[in-house]
A and B are shown apart, each in its own frame.
Chain A
Amino acid sequence: MGQDRQAAEAEERPPLPPRPSTSASVDPKNLQAQATTAVTPLEIQTLSFPDGSRGTFSTPGARAVSNPMDSGSSTPRRDKDSASPDNDDAASVTSFAPTMRPAADIASLLAGGLPKRSPAWNLLRTQSSNVHPFEKSQSGTPDKFDDFAREFEALPEDSGEQYGDEERLAIWKSKLKHYMIISAAGKPIWSRHGDLALINSSIGVIHTIISFYEGAKNPLQGFTAGQTRFFVLTQGSLYFVAISKLGESDSQLRFQLEALYMQILSTLTLPTLTHIFANRPSSDLRKPLQGTESLLSSLADNFTKGSPTALLGSLECLKLRKSQRHTINNTFLKHRTDKLLYGLIVADGKLVSVIRPRRHSLHPSDLQLIFNMLFEAEGVRGGGGENWIPLCLPAFNNRGYLYMYVSFLDEEGPDVKVPGQEQASPTAPGEVAMVLISAEKESFFELQQMRRDVAQQLAKSGSLAIIRAAARAGRPRVEGIAPGSHISHFLFKSRANVQYCMGSLDALFADLDERRKLMTIYHELHASVHAKLAHLKVLHSTRQDATALAWITPVFEFYCVAGPNMSRAMMTQGANKIIQWAKKEEERLFIIGGGVF
C-alpha cells in the first residue's frame, strides 16, 4: 500500500533532481556522518512492525496514512554500571512513522505532516538546515492551531441575544481539549469549558457510558471517536474525564487527570472527600470546592498549552552559579525557624532554593500544585501582601493540612533598579517569591519574621539581585550552547534530580500555537520512548515541518526539535553538544540535594 502511494506521489512530482528520499534514515549523507557522534555505532535495520497497526489509521485529511519508513534498531545495551552518557548510551536508533504506534497513542501532527510533499517543499528541503520548524510558508493549509489562543476564551454569556444555545454548544464543541469532573452519582462537579447548565446533557451521556462499564465490573479506560480521545480516570466517587484532540497518549492524559485529582485533595484532604461521599453519595461537591475552580482551570490550561513540567514530571530550576546557590541556601538555613517544614525560593516559576528536613523530600506533584497556585492562577499573586494558605500536599500527606506562607519579594532597594537592565527584557518580571511551609497553623508571625530576615540578608549580600538578574536573563538560548547547530529547542531532564532545563522559547516559540506544536512533538516523542514495550533509547523522527530527536539513558532524558531540513547527523551532533553542556553545567542548572536540616 505504501509502495503504491509512493509511486503515485512520484508521478505527481516534477522531476526535480536531486530528489530527496522520503525517509530520512536512508539519506546517505546521514549515514556518512554518523561516526562522528556519540550516538554511534548506529545500525540500520528494518523493523518489522505488525502490519495491522498501520491499517487502523486510515483517517481522512491531514491524518492520512503516511509513508512507511525504514527503521533501525538494535538490542538495547543494558550496561547499568556505566552511568555516564559518554560511554555510549546509544543502544538503539530508529526512525519511525508515527502511525505504526499502537492505537492508544493516536498521535497526530507527526502523522499529519508526512503525507503530501509538495514540489515547493522539496525545493526547500534541498536548501540549508536553518529553516525553522513550523514555518508558515510550508503549510499551505490552515491547521487546527491557527486559532489556538481562542481555545482559552470563555464561552459567550448566556444572557446575550447574539448567541443561542446551539451556537454556544458549537463553540464548546470546537475546543480542542476538555476536562470534566463528575461524581459517580452523576452530579457534574467541574468542567473546563462551558457552564454546567449548557453541557448538562453531554455530561449525562458521558456519565452513562462510564457507569455502564463500571456496572459491568469492567471499567472504561477510554475510547476514540474520530480524532478525539476520551480518557477516564476513576478515583473513589469521582470520574475524571479528558477529551483531547491534541494527540496525547493515555498515560499522559492520566497524569493530567491525576493532577486535577491532587488539586481536589489539596483543597479538601482525602478523609474529608471520602467522608462527603460516604455520608451522601449524591453530595454536591461544588460547594466545598468553591474557589478551587480557577486553580483547576489554570492547571488544565497549562496542560493544554503544553507543560514540560507535567510532561516530564519534574521541575525547572533557575540557573545559578554553584557558589551563589550555596550562599542562598545557607542564608535560608541560617534564619530558619523551628516551625518550618519546607522553605522554597522561587523566581518566575523556577526553583531557586529549597530547604527541607533530612527525612523529607518534596514531591514534584506537590510542587506543581504550589507553583500553579502562585504563578499560573491569579488569586494569590494578584492580592498583594503576604498570604497564609492552608493546603494539603497530597503526595506528602493526603490526610491533613499544612500552612503555607507566601510572599512575593517587592522590588526594593537600589540593587535592581538598573535602568538598562530593565529595558533589556521588559516582559520578564523577575518575580521572586518566598514560600515557607509549616505544619502549625498559628506560626504565621514566626514565618513572617523568617521571611524578613532572609529577604534582608539576601538583599544585603546581593543574592537577591543575582536571582532577579538570572530570572530576567531567561532560559539559555540554543545558539549560545551549541552554536551553528540549528537546533531550535531542547528539553533535558536529569532523572536523578527530577529536574529539567530547556532552551529559550522566546524567539521561535513565543506564540501559543507554535509552542503547542513544539510541545505536541515532545509529547509524541515522550510517548514513543515511554511506551510499555518500547526498547527505544534513541529516536529520530522526521516530518514535513520539523525533525526531532529523543535520547533516553538512565541518567537523563533528552528531547530536541529542529527545522525540517536538519539531517540526522547534524541533529545528533547538536544534541551531543547540548548534552555535554548540560553535564558540564549540571550543578548550575539543577539543585542537587538542596539545603537539609
Chain B
Amino acid sequence: MSESAPKPSSSVKLVLLGEAAVGKSSLVLRFVNNDFQENKEPTIGAAFLTQKCNLPSRTIKFEIWDTAGQERFASLAPMYYRNAQAALVVYDLTKPTSLVKAKHWVAELQRQASPGIVIALVGNKLDLTSDSKTADSDEEGADGEDDSGDARKVSTEEAKAYAEEESLLFFETSAKTGHNVSEVFTAIANAIPETSLKSARGAGASNTAAGRASEEQRVNLGNARESGSKDNCAC
C-alpha cells in the first residue's frame, strides 16, 4: 500500500535440503502463505514456489526449490542446487540423525554448488522444546498443548558451533508458530552479495526462455499472496 516508488528488484534462487519430515515444506508454506498444516504429506520430487521479500533498499524475489527429503530422490538434488545462490539446510532439533544428514548436505553443497552460495542451517520444530515458551511471549503458538516436556535432542550450542565453523547462518525456527521463519529469509536476502544479485538477474532470464512474458504472468499470480503475506515477511 505504501509502496510508491518502485524499488530495484532482483531474484534469488534458493534451495531447501534436509532429511525427510524435518519441515522443509512447512517452512516454505509459512513463508509463502503464512500457513501451517499439522499433517503435511511428504513432498514427491520437488516443488517450486516464489515469494517476494521487501528490503529497505530493494525487493528480493525468492525462487524456491523445496526438495523431497526421501532417500530415493537424493540423486536429483544437484539439479536443484546447481544454480542456487542460497540454500536452507534444515534439521529437526528433536531428531539427532537429521543433523547428521544436514551436515552431509552442507558438505555436498560446499563441494558441488556455486562457490558463493549462502547457506543457512535451520533447526526446526522449536515449538516442541521447553525454551519455545519463554522465547517470545507474543507468538501465537504459546498454546501449551505441548506441555509434555522438552523434546529437544540437539542443543543450540552444538549446532551453533558447527554453523560458525562452516560459516553458515544459523537459526532455530518453528514452522508451526512462525517463530524466526521470516527472519531466516531476511537474513539470507541480506547476506547475498550485491554483485551476485546483479548477475542473478541475467541468469534468471536465461533460464526461463522468454523472460518478459513470464514476468507479466508472475505479477498476476502473486497478487493474492503478496497482500496476505506482507506482515509475514518483515524484511
Contacts and interface: CB of A to CB of B under 8 A. Distances in A.
A240 interface: no
Interface in B37-55: 37, 40-50
A385 B44 contact: no
B70 A449 contact: no
A62 interface: no
Given A288-B72, A445-B207, A448-B208, A384 B33 contact: yes
A413 B79 contact: no
A441 interface: yes
A151 interface: no
A378 B29 CA distance: 14
Contacts of B32: 384-385
Given A287-B71, A290-B71, A412-B221, A387 B209 contact: no
B68 A291 contact: yes
B44 A444 contact: no
B66 A445 contact: no
A389 B48 contact: no
A434 interface: no
Nearest to A446: B209
B214 interface: yes
Nearest to B207: A445
Contacts of B79: 441-442
Contacts of A448: 48, 208, 214
A382 B46 contact: no
A386 B213 CA distance: 17
B66 A385 contact: yes
Contact of A383 (B43, B72, B208, B220): B43
Given A290-B42, A291-B20, A383 B25 contact: yes
Interface residues of A, number: 38
Given A287-B71, A290-B70, A456-B217, A389 B210 contact: no
Contacts of B37: 382
Nearest to A390: B45
Nearest to A290: B70
A29 interface: no
A380 B45 CA distance: 10
Interface in B179-235: 207-210, 213-214, 216-217, 220-221, 223-224
Given A290-B70, A384-B33, A445 B44 contact: no
Nearest to B50: A385
Contacts of A268: 72
A410 B221 contact: yes
A387 B45 contact: yes
B44 A373 contact: yes
B162 interface: no
Contacts, number: 99
B161 interface: no
Contacts of A388: 45-48
A373 B44 CA distance: 10
Interface string A57-82: 00000000000000000000000000
Nearest to A380: B44
Interface residues on B, range: 35 or more
B235 to A, nearest CB: 20
A267 B42 CA distance: 14
B208 A449 contact: yes
B76 interface: yes
Interface string A200-222: 00000000000000000000000
A66 B29 CA distance: 57
A267 to B, nearest CB: 8
Interface string B9-38: 000000000001000010011001100010
Contacts of B25: 383
A432 B48 CA distance: 18
A404 B46 CA distance: 11
A482 interface: no
Interface in A391-432: 391, 403-404, 410, 412-413
Contacts of B47: 383-388
Interface in A432-452: 441-442, 444-446, 448-449, 452
A45 to B, nearest CB: 56
B73 A390 contact: yes
Contact of A455 (B43, B209, B217): B217
Contacts of B45: 387-391, 403-404
A387 B46 contact: yes
Contacts of A390: 45, 73, 76
A476 interface: no
Contacts of B43: 379, 383
Nearest to B220: A412
A294 interface: yes
B41 A382 contact: yes
Interface of B: 20, 25, 28-29, 32-33, 37, 40-50, 64, 66, 68, 70-73, 76, 79, 207-210, 213-214, 216-217, 220-221, 223-224
Interface of A: 267-268, 287-288, 290-291, 294, 373, 377-380, 382-391, 403-404, 410, 412-413, 441-442, 444-446, 448-449, 452-453, 455-456
The 10 closest A-B pairs by CB, nearest first: A379-B41, A385-B49, A389-B45, A291-B42, A386-B48, A385-B47, A452-B217, A378-B41, A383-B47, A388-B46
26 contacts: A287-B71, A288-B72, A290-B42, A290-B71, A291-B42, A291-B70, A379-B43, A382-B37, A383-B25, A383-B43, A384-B33, A384-B47, A384-B49, A385-B64, A386-B48, A387-B48, A389-B45, A389-B46, A390-B45, A412-B220, A412-B221, A441-B76, A441-B79, A444-B48, A456-B216, A456-B217
Given A291-B68, A382-B40, 7 more contacts: A377-B41, A387-B44, A387-B47, A390-B45, A390-B76, A412-B221, A452-B213
